[in-house]
Amino acid sequence: MREFLDGLSAADRARVRNVLRLLCEFGVLLQMPHARPLSGHRGLWELRAGAIRLFYFAHTGRQLVILHAFRKKSQRTPAREIAIAERRMIEILEEEQ
């Protein structure tokens, strides 16, 4: 994910930094227009920074884990991008057990 963020324009990086700051400040209370749960994908949330989307989930305690980031190019979120985030979330949860 670091490579993806490093490849963004300065304006996009600033937008991402801003929504990450809001996420740190408000945590799971952050709502639209900055964050929303992905319907049909239990526990997975979408953080919105302009056209950039970051998927995350609330982990044990007050920890929020960013799983995946991509540039949204259409109205619909591609199933492939959601699948990547879900796979990473499952891996994290399985490592824990």
Structural domain boundaries enclosing 13: 2-96
Question: Looking at the predicted structure, is the pLDDT value of residue 61 above 90?
Answer: no
Per-residue pLDDT band at 96 (split at 50, 70, 90) = confident
Look at the chain and report how many structural domains it folds into: 1
**CA 78/CA 91 separation, integer angstroms:** 21
Question: What are the CB-based long-range contacts (under 8 Å, 24+) for 5-13?
Answer: 5/69, 8/52, 12/49, 12/50, 12/51, 12/52
d(CA 82, CA 90): 12
In this predicted structure, what is the pLDDT of residue 25? 94
Q: How many residues does the chain have?
A: 97
Q: What is the pLDDT of residues 6-59, one digit of tens each?
A: 999 999 999 999 999 999 999 889 999 999 999 888 889 999 999 999 999 988
Q: What is the CATH number of the domain that holds 64?
A: 3.30.2310.20
Q: Please tell me whether the overall predicted TM-score, pTM, comes out greater than 0.75 for this model.
A: yes
